[in-house]
Amino acid sequence: MTRLMLVGVLVPWVAVAQETKAQETTAEPAAVAVSAEAKRENFGAVVAPATMPDGATAVSGWVGVPEIGAAYRQGVGGWEIGARGRFDYLRLSVTGEAVGRVQVWTDTEKWTVATELGLGVTGNTGSRYFDEQNLKGWFLRVNPAVVVSGKVAETVRAVGLVEVPYDLGLSPSGTWRVKPMAGGGAEIYLGEDLSLSAVGELGVDIFKELRGVTQTRLGYGVRLGLGVRLF
């Protein structure tokens, strides 16, 4: 009798345990699918998205003309903060910036606009092998910008940029450069949290040498970047 009672208690318990395990096994692939879909809907690391979501982190690097560079991005409290380094291999100059972004507009079609401000320092060797009007010295870099990103396909985002980097000479004083640039391109989701970005910009390069006159010439930039979302 005791043995029958024990069996009567264990059988329902085992059945419930098996049913719960089956439900968990079924739910696991669904959770993975939802996570993958969320990544596709909100991907980006190099230029897109216009601002990183709270808690999201990305690193990226790019090659192009006239510079190569790398960047770190972190979404926190509705803002994006990060850092960026650039090396202009044609003029042998290096720039390091701290960067902040904030979203200023969005719509139901997934288009987003953000403003950006970069603050940093540029050191220029003054090499004139490529540029006979290159400016030598240390410069304070102030770089306001506007960034636009929008969904054009499931794994493609259009991106737009307007940048106005301003370099104020620190040594020697009296030299400066401002380079308003505008352009755009696309960022493509490759999978495994990787994205590929291609951007081109055109503008003007306005500068003043020490005891010189203000001069203006064509400004340009092309970048091919690869980024990865860490979180």
pLDDT of residue 39: 55
The tens digit of pLDDT for each residue in 85-121 reads 999 999 999 999 999 999 999 986 689 999 999 999 9
The tens digit of pLDDT for each residue in 144-169 reads 999 999 999 999 999 999 999 999 99
Type of residue found at 112: T
Residue 6: is its pLDDT beyond 60?
A: no
Name the residue with higher pLDDT: 193 or 211. 193
Assign residue 174 a region (left: φ > 0; alpha: ψ between -120 and 50; beta: otherwise): left
156: closest CA among 205, 120, 196?
196
pLDDT of residue 30: 40
User: What single DSSP character describes residue 210?
Assistant: T
The tens digit of pLDDT for each residue in 50-86 reads 999 999 999 999 999 999 999 999 999 989 999 999 9
**Helix (H) / strand (E) containing 39:** helix 2-41
- Work out the mean pLDDT of the chain and round it to a whole number: 86
Q: Is the link from the previous residue into 66 a cis peptide, with omega within 30 of 0?
A: yes
Average pLDDT over residues 204-221: 92
Q: What are phi and psi of 193, to 5 degrees?
A: 70, 10
User: What single DSSP character describes residue 127?
Assistant: -
197: closest CA among 208, 207, 209, 183?
183
185: closest CA among 134, 210, 214, 150?
150
Average pLDDT over residues 136-149: 96
pTM of the model as a whole: 0.82
CA gap 185, 193 in Å, rounded: 20
| pLDDT confidence tier of residue 40, bands split at 50, 70 and 90 | low
pLDDT of residue 7: 39
**Helix (H) / strand (E) containing 172:** none
Residue 226: is its pLDDT beyond 70?
A: yes
The tens digit of pLDDT for each residue in 171-206 reads 767 899 999 999 999 999 999 999 999 999 999 999
pLDDT of residue 37: 53
89: its two tokens? 């291999």
